A and B are shown apart, each in its own frame.
Chain A
Amino acid sequence: MTTTQTSCPSFLELADYWTSDSAPADVERIEAHVFTCDSCARLLAEAEQLRTAIGDLARSGSVHALVTDAVLNQLARDGVRVRSYVLDPGETVHCAVWADDEVLVTRLRGDFANIASVDAEWRLGSGEEWGRASDLPVRKGASELVFALPASLVRNAPNVPIRLTLRATPAGSPGEKVLAEYVFDHEGALDRHSRDA
């Protein structure tokens, strides 16, 4: 049984240990503690498992998130099959996922000046809501937002047009306004046979 005299770091401090820019002094302090404390060693392992599981989920193309090119580059390095669509405001794109696609990426171009965050809403042609995301961060000067969706999610979507509306409250503006709308004319899941037919 390992025991220790120094105070135990919190789970969040132990999780910080696994970040790429953890301070050397913090790393040494945590290591010195963990090698003398059984329960913190287990907690550090738990934090590592969480980190690994997040990476594994991303690698399996199972994450629905706003991403950056850094994530897309990592997906490419990991050999994940990514299909991309680029849309300008008001544009309609005919889209589909293929049998071996793992992630669908949509690059939404627009004017995001004076915008710090946006809300997104996906609706089917019938008006029924298909998805929603709020408080999506927007970098100053950004000209596009990049969404990654699991291909499996899109594969199961109905074969109807899906309208995506971005809303935001610009700095100095009294209320929320529609920033842009994009339409995905979803043609379902395709494979070589369906294409030939």
Chain B
Amino acid sequence: MKSVATHSDELVVLRRERRQRLTPFASRRYVSRVTRPSIPLATRADGVLAREIAASEAGEAPAAETELYRRFAPRIRLYGLKHLSDRGAADDLAQQVMLVVITRLRAGEVRDPDQIGSFVLGTSRMMATGQRRGERRRAALHARFDAREEMVDGGSDVTLDSDRIAPCLAAIRERERTILLLTFYAEKSTHEIADALGTTPGAVRVSRHRALASMRDCIEARRAS
């Protein structure tokens, strides 16, 4: 039985049933043959890259591994920033998750390489939970032994420089600027902001959206000029 998966600029024909009957060595050669079209790595689908890595021994598909890392490490880092609230921890998470993902791909433990994005997200969730538990354990030890540890600055990859956004932040309405500061600097909830400004949570959301849309337009205009 044939199944055909069409990607943007490639056609990969998979004989899944036949592949399952192949020996591991033959399977690798087979998958390698059908998943290495002569198209640039950057335009290959995630699943194609994942299958290429799965079909390779360690060190055999460095380009595919690098490309997969380039695509997913930034997303894992964003996930880490959201859930771990620390740049250093987010960087660590990206490294650890990608290591696990590539190892498990090679070990044939990823059931559906075409769903590699979901697998990466699931691994991120699991490992972030582990990191949070570790953090709690460390915090408990600190409290117990009054230990002190300087925060390590993981560096910033912010590409929006202050010179570019300062005029845009100055150009929005006062009320909106206050809401952005309370949201993204003081990290207050919508309800807390509404309470502080004597308005409703709905009005805060509307103002925040309007402010962000204005900021984005302004930044784009300055980028273009």
- Is A2's CB under 8 angstroms from B185's CB? no
Q: Which 5 A-B pairs have the closest CB atoms?
A: A139-B198, A21-B189, A36-B117, A35-B121, A35-B117
- Asked if A116 is at the interface of the complex by the 8 Å CB criterion, the answer is yes
How many chain B residues sit at the interface, stated as a range, is 35 or more
A-B contact list, 29 entries, CB within 8 Å: A1-B42, A2-B46, A2-B71, A3-B45, A11-B213, A12-B209, A15-B208, A16-B205, A18-B184, A19-B190, A20-B187, A20-B188, A27-B82, A34-B78, A35-B120, A44-B75, A44-B78, A49-B158, A50-B165, A50-B219, A51-B184, A54-B184, A57-B169, A63-B181, A65-B181, A67-B181, A74-B185, A116-B198, A137-B178
CB nearest neighbor in B for A33: B117
Q: Which residues of B, 126-156, contact A by the 8 Å Cβ criterion?
A: 156
- Is A50's CB under 8 angstroms from B215's CB? yes
A21 to B181, CA, bound (A): 15
Specify which chain A residues have a CB less than 8 angstroms from the CB of B212 in the assembled complex.
11-12, 15, 47, 50
- Asked if A187 is at the interface of the complex by the 8 Å CB criterion, the answer is no
- Is B165's CB under 8 angstroms from A3's CB? no
Specify which chain B residues have a CB less than 8 angstroms from the CB of A15 in the assembled complex.
208-209, 212
Specify which chain B residues have a CB less than 8 angstroms from the CB of A67 in the assembled complex.
178, 181
Q: Which residues of A, 34-76, contact B by the 8 Å Cβ criterion?
A: 34-36, 38, 41, 44-45, 47-60, 62-68, 70-71, 73-74
Given A2-B46, A12-B213, A31-B79, verify A58-B174 contact (CB < 8 Å).
no
Given A48-B78, A54-B169, A135-B173, verify A32-B197 contact (CB < 8 Å).
no
- Is B44's CB under 8 angstroms from A1's CB? yes
Residue among B159, B185, B199 making CB contact with A55, cutoff 8 Å: B185
- Is A71's CB under 8 angstroms from B182's CB? yes
Residue among A27, A44, A53 making CB contact with B158, cutoff 8 Å: A53
- Asked if B196 is at the interface of the complex by the 8 Å CB criterion, the answer is yes
Given A20-B188, A21-B189, verify A52-B156 contact (CB < 8 Å).
yes
- Asked if B170 is at the interface of the complex by the 8 Å CB criterion, the answer is yes
